[in-house]
Structure 1
Amino acid sequence: MTTTDIIFLDIPAVLPVPFSPNTWKVRLALNYKKLTYVTRWVETTDIASVCTSLGIPPTSTLPDGTPKYTLPALIDNTTSPPALLSDSTPIIEYLERTYRDPDSSRALCVPASRALHALFEYHVAHSITAQLLPVMVMHMHDKKTPRDRVHFRKRTEAAFGKKLEDIELRGKEREEQWKKIEGAFDLLARLMKAGGTTGELFTGSNLSLADCILGGLLLAFRYISPDEAWIKVSAWNDGKWMRCMAVLEEWTAVV
């Protein structure tokens, strides 16, 4: 493959690295599969117009019926016509089908595991990701590009009917919210222990879709909120998530 065969659309930040958990999820998979790709950086403000111009499908529909476009997205020019994909899990499933490793033990998501992975995604989405805005909204805002800060503030304040600064919890309420999130991580650690997993990844030494999902979230913690979220998470469960991050480092290159 040439360097333009696969184009990966990601969201830039004021940091030298991206911080979206969903785009990190796909980047981990691309790097694990050792695929050659280039990143096209698209600010959140421009996602809809860029995806529309490229023919990339929407990921869902807004309440008013208009298409909703989000990143990550991927263009695979090795096929004719090119494969145009959006949404992190469908992209990873496509990569798994199209660039299957001869060693089946290295599969990211074998078909028989999809139901379990769907349950895992549901747990992470509802018990962790959905709980983060009240404790990370200002961290998220500050890491965005100047244009995207305006876009993020406008749509988030419209959704919640209050200023970003008032969405952020403080004091005891903030600590209670972090305790709720810690409980969701406790459950993951207990399940991994009960399953007899050796090593820090869900299926042993090789990456899985579950590891990509959780890894994207851990990377987001580290880059969005290194002075609060990552300090907390890295200390939970006897440092398990810090050790998990150390294993994931092999697949975190940004190209």
Structure 2
Amino acid sequence: MITFYDFPSTKPGQAWNPNTWKTRYSLNYKQIPYKTEWVEYPDVAGLCKKIGIPPTSKNADGSDLYTLPAIYDSSTGTGIADSLLIAEYLEKTYPDTPKLFPHGTAVLQSSFNDAFMSKLEALWQFVLPVTATRLNPSSEEYFTRTRTAVFGKPLKDVFPKGEEHVAEWKKLKDGFVAIDGWYQKSGGSTFIMGETPVFADFIIGGFVFFAKAIFGEDSEEWKDMVLWNGGRWDKIVISLEKYAQVV
């Protein structure tokens, strides 16, 4: 049995994090049995060290950085973090399940992730200040403190206002226009490679669901986003609903 570690929010049972969504979509798509354990931000490092899940990178001070998503597979005794590494592990360990990386596409999809993230640089200033308010107290404190250090100013002041808000929101929209162009080249299909999703679609779906969950369906931001590119982004979330179970 796989144990999947995810971040909770103030709404019990609601998944929200874009990176952990990639793994949840992958597990559900491949129909691999798993259970979710919710982990608050300050507890991630201790958990990973305890069960042998390696760090994913380094902090600014050179210490190990432990992140989610992470899984522990009791059938193989394997603990692993990072959504792409988890997807590759699932593909190799459970070969008789639907493919996340059709033959010859693994490198392409990894490169796609880098290209996709480059188009979302304007997103963080809008979502991170709001994200903090959606977290339980211990995670809210940790999240606010660490992101304040990154931005060099109070997290609440990161959210753009006035003319800056208009300009930065346009940058975000332009980024999604570019991503929509990639879909256009696939012949207008629902997903990047046709009518069947691959890991790249879970990357996009995870971030779009993240925006929906953090802003809220009734927010002006989400109401605007659903109109972009012929409603493509809301359609993607809807198309992936069958793989969005939280178990």
Shorter-normalised TM range: over 0.9
Q: 2:145 aligns to what SS in structure 1?
A: helix
* Count of aligned pairs between the two proteins: 244
CA-CA distance at 1:37 after TM superposition: 0.4
Distance 2:184 2:118 in 1: 22
1:142 paired residue among 133, 156, 160: 133
Work out whether 1:117 is the aligned partner of 2:117: no
Q: 1:7 aligns to what SS in structure 2?
A: strand
Work out whether 1:101 is the aligned partner of 2:104: no
CA-CA distance at 1:235 after TM superposition: 1.1
Identity %: 34
Look up the equivalent residue of 1:145 and give its one-letter code. N
Report 1:64-83 matches (<5 A).
Answer: 64-79=61-76, 82-83=77-78
Distance 2:181 2:116 in 1: 15
Moved more, 243-252 or 132-141: 132-141
Distance 1:54 1:113 in 2: 32
Q: Which residue of 2 aligns with 1:209?
A: 199
What TM-score do the two structures reach when normalised by structure 2?
0.94
Look up the equivalent residue of 2:56 and give its one-letter code. T
Work out whether 1:159 is the aligned partner of 2:150: yes
Work out whether 1:254 is the aligned partner of 2:246: yes
Contact map agreement 2:192 2:200 (CA 8 A) in 1: yes
Query: Unaligned regions of 5+ residues in structure 2, if any?
Result: none
Look up the equivalent residue of 1:40 and give its one-letter code. E
Distance 2:88 2:74 in 1: 17
Contact map agreement 2:186 2:194 (CA 8 A) in 1: no
Q: Which residue of 1 aligns with 2:163?
A: 172
CA-CA distance at 1:111 after TM superposition: 5.0
1:62 paired residue among 36, 59, 63: 59
Distance 2:170 2:177 in 1: 10
Look up the equivalent residue of 2:113 and give its one-letter code. E
Distance 2:33 2:168 in 1: 40
* 1:92-128 residue CA offsets vs partner (Å, 9 max, x unmatched): 11111111236xxx42113511222122111222221
Contact map agreement 2:109 2:199 (CA 8 A) in 1: yes
Q: Which residue of 2 aligns with 1:89?
A: 84
Distance 1:161 1:210 in 2: 32
Look up the equivalent residue of 2:239 and give its one-letter code. V
Q: 2:226 aligns to what SS in structure 1?
A: helix
What TM-score do the two structures reach when normalised by structure 1?
0.91
Aligned CA RMSD, in angstroms, stands at 1.4
Work out whether 1:37 is the aligned partner of 2:34: yes
Moved over 3 A (4+): none
Q: 2:32 aligns to what SS in structure 1?
A: coil
Moved more, 22-31 or 62-71: 62-71
CA-CA distance at 1:222 after TM superposition: 1.1
Distance 1:159 1:190 in 2: 32
Q: 2:62 aligns to what SS in structure 1?
A: coil
Distance 2:187 2:96 in 1: 25
CA-CA distance at 1:250 after TM superposition: 0.5
Change (3 A) 1:228 1:60: farther
* 1:24-56 residue CA offsets vs partner (Å, 9 max, x unmatched): 010001001111101111101111111111111
Distance 1:230 1:185 in 2: 13
Work out whether 1:52 is the aligned partner of 2:44: no
* 1:153-208 residue CA offsets vs partner (Å, 9 max, x unmatched): 1111122221112111112211211211111211121122123242x211222120
Contact map agreement 2:127 2:211 (CA 8 A) in 1: no
Contact map agreement 2:129 2:156 (CA 8 A) in 1: yes
Contact map agreement 1:197 1:203 (CA 8 A) in 2: no
Look up the equivalent residue of 1:120 and give its one-letter code. F
CA-CA distance at 1:229 after TM superposition: 3.5
